[in-house]
Amino acid sequence: MSPSLRVGLVGYGVGGAVFHAPLIAAHPALQLSAVVTANPERQQRVRAEHPEAAVVDDVDALLAGDVDLVVVASPNRTHVELATKAIDAGLPVVVDKPFTPTAVEGRRLVEHAEAKGVLLTVFQNRRWDSDVRTVAKLLDQGALGRVHRFESRFERWSPVPKPTWRDSGGAADVAGILYDLGSHLIDQALQLFGPVAAVYAEIDRRRAGVQADDDSYLALTHTNGVRTHLWMSKVAAQPGPRFRVLGDRATFTKHGVDPQEAALRAGRRPVDDSWGREPEESWGVLGVGDEVRRVPSERGDYLAFYDGVVKALREGAPPPVDPADAVAALDIISAAHRSAAEITVERLL
């Protein structure tokens, strides 16, 4: 391998352009070597924003070149095919979420990577959000006591659908807010509270013309007894709290979202210690009734994901995200679809 790991990025939509490319370019051990996109406008954008990277039309051209790592940030329906090509070429792979359309496909891809002896991991970057890291710290400290309910929301106001596959696509496109934002919310809940035994879901299409869900709710029962309630919506004119965590000693309530996505969209990169820090007015509150105190938000750190990738490749450390975790989340998504269709509670364990 070269001194810097050469990265081939597949796709330059929101995932590739806003998240992966800036993080890769900012990492001292990584080099954005090539970007795959056949869209002329996106090709021009790559050349303007990352002139050091070659621009190629397809994955075959990328794999024929010299890269040490492939990052798949293409449309959801293509994840399995493109990740398989990279694995067949003997290259380690990062796959953006949702990992695959189904848990069955996810398990097959994991087994294929293991058989080929290559690294496979999933970009669950929101494990490194400032707010969820703050919740994890409070749990470690026992500040809430015994937690019995965890409420988590990603709610946005986008009443007019966009002409993209994410809004107008159907099942074949692996579209919809449950796959998009729900993949993050489910992953965070699993990381905080462990395996899920039962799933109840309400999955709806509220806006005219959309084929995939844009307003959904999940209720999860963890094997440890914690109840998780997850809301995700594109039609919430007034969003609820990002987190509300109820314990037998205190409650933690947090409004607002981690600042990293907005910073990346504004063109900033994680190059100093100011990255991922929330102002005091955005901190959550902990306590009982009116007796509450503000809790300083932990620093958000998306670059830590790629730190983990580098350590896995150079030192043999475990991947930053075990793909089996993404498969577990896909099992929950499948159960959610069954629950919503039949109005049932689906048991997983």
99-157 pLDDT per residue, tens: 999 999 999 999 999 999 999 999 999 999 999 999 999 999 999 999 999 999 999 99
Which residues, at least 6 apart from 293, have a Cβ–Cβ distance to it below 8 Å? 285, 286, 287
Give the pLDDT score at 170: 81
H helix or E strand, kind and range, residue 155: strand 147-155
227-257 pLDDT per residue, tens: 999 999 999 999 999 999 999 999 999 999 9
Residues 31 and 8: their CA atoms lie apart, in Å, by 9
Residues 214 and 154: their CA atoms lie apart, in Å, by 11
pLDDT band for position 2 (cuts 50, 70, 90): low
Residues 47 and 65: their CA atoms lie apart, in Å, by 18
Give the pLDDT score at 169: 82
The DSSP code sequence of 76-103 is GGGHHHHHHHHHHTT--EEEESS--SSH
69-82 pLDDT per residue, tens: 999 999 999 999 99
Q: In the chain, what are the domains? A: 5-123 (3.40.50.720), 130-302+331-347 (3.30.360.10)
Q: Tell me the mean pLDDT in the region 268-275.
A: 93
Counting residues of the chain whose pLDDT is more than 70, the rounded percentage is 99
H helix or E strand, kind and range, residue 122: strand 120-123
Coil, strand or helix at 41: helix
Give the pLDDT score at 66: 93
Give the pLDDT score at 1: 47
- pTM, whole model, 2 decimals? 0.96
8-60 pLDDT per residue, tens: 999 999 999 999 999 999 999 999 999 999 999 999 999 999 999 999 999 99
- Contact assessment for residue 83 and residue 58, using Cβ atoms and an 8 Å cutoff: no
CA angle 55, 301, 195 (to 5 degrees): 105
288-328 pLDDT per residue, tens: 999 999 999 999 999 999 999 999 999 999 999 999 999 99
165-224 pLDDT per residue, tens: 888 788 889 999 999 999 999 999 999 999 999 999 999 999 998 999 999 999 999 999
